Copies of this chain bind each other. A is one copy, B any other.
Amino acid sequence: MSIDIALNEAAGAVNRLLTDLLPPVDGAENRVLDAMRYATMGGGKRIRPYLLINSAALFDVYSEYALRAAAAIEMLHCYSLVHDDLPAMDNSDLRRGRPTAHKAFDEATAILAGDGLLTMAFEILADPKTHPDGQVRADLVLALAKAGGAAGMVGGQMIDLWAEKNELDIGAITRLQRLKTGAIIAFSCEAGGILGHASMAQRHALISYAHDLGLAFQIVDDLLDAEGDAETTGKPVGADAKAGKATFVSILGIDRARDQAKLLGQQANSHLDMFGAKADPLRWMTEFVLTRKN
């Protein structure tokens, strides 16, 4: 099986579940549910759900549980996109070729939709239906809260805003990436281990894989911004350089950044050795991250 087929399959399953989890309601509050549906159903690659599902599969977790946790992590990811796109933040009008949530609805509804998705991510994780035998693993909820909060994604976004007016060095950029996007990618992989009652050594291996993968992902992102063409990437290129923003590419240069990404990819895969062939879908993801064109 190729990564494209596997990724499509996971995306299809998580999309169906997201639709089920966000049914229309009879009341004026349906508008916020509309916006939550809009924000989650915009056709993302569903990389985080893929990571969660395939980490859980290492431990033979039934897919119905992994899928629910995957839907929760995608809700959290989509909330962060909705809030990051707001006029007060990145002020983006387009996301994946469609109007952003505050453009398709309005700013107040977009703020509430983000709040609603963040809250619902916790609702799903704390639901016995998400856990084998209905035994809720509270450490799953705790891990998501840590990854999403001020010491994770929210803190990372704060640093990112600060970086617009301040010079970052390579250490600071690495830390920014680790908080802003790395923590949630690490959670996606760790969550499979938690649901699967993995040993601490196995959980740490998954987290290490995720850290290297997430950093490689960001470096490739910076490379695409520096050299990709707008038609393939689906977004304006050179935006970072124009904004005078320090990136891995602006500091390392294109060649060293590319070498670094490759090295991180090898390192990521080395953490999967203990899982044997069962971890192939995670190895495919490494390849996908390194070779993606958008």
Contacts and interface: CB of A to CB of B under 8 A. Distances in A.
Interface of A: 25, 27-29, 31-33, 36, 79, 83, 86, 88-89, 106-109, 111-112, 114-116, 118-120, 122-123, 126-128, 136, 138-139, 141-142, 144-146, 148-151, 154-159, 161-163, 166, 175, 179
Contacts of A36: 150
B145 A27 contact: no
Contact of A145 (B109, B120, B155): B120
A126 B106 contact: no
Copies in the complex: 2
Given A107-B88, A159-B27, A119 B145 contact: yes
Contacts of A179: 29
A242 B148 CA distance: 40
Contact of A108 (B27, B139, B161): B161
Nearest to A107: B88
Nearest to A141: B126
Contacts of A31: 158, 162
A118 B118 contact: yes
Given A118-B115, A149-B120, A154-B116, A138 B142 contact: no
10 contacts: A28-B163, A29-B155, A83-B112, A109-B161, A111-B111, A118-B119, A119-B148, A126-B126, A127-B142, A128-B138
Contact of A126 (B25, B32, B114, B142): B142
Contacts of A163: 28
Given A88-B106, A111-B88, A158-B109, A145 B116 contact: no
A150 B89 contact: no
Q: Which of A29, A88, A155 neighbours the largest number of chain B CB atoms within 10 Å of its CB?
A: A29
Q: Which of A28, A106, A179 neighbours the largest number of chain B CB atoms within 10 Å of its CB?
A: A28
A278 to B, nearest CB: 29
Contact of A122 (B136, B141, B151, B175): B141
B83 A111 contact: yes
Nearest to A106: B88
Contact of A83 (B115, B120, B128): B115
Contact of A123 (B116, B118, B149): B149
Nearest to A123: B145
B115 A28 contact: no
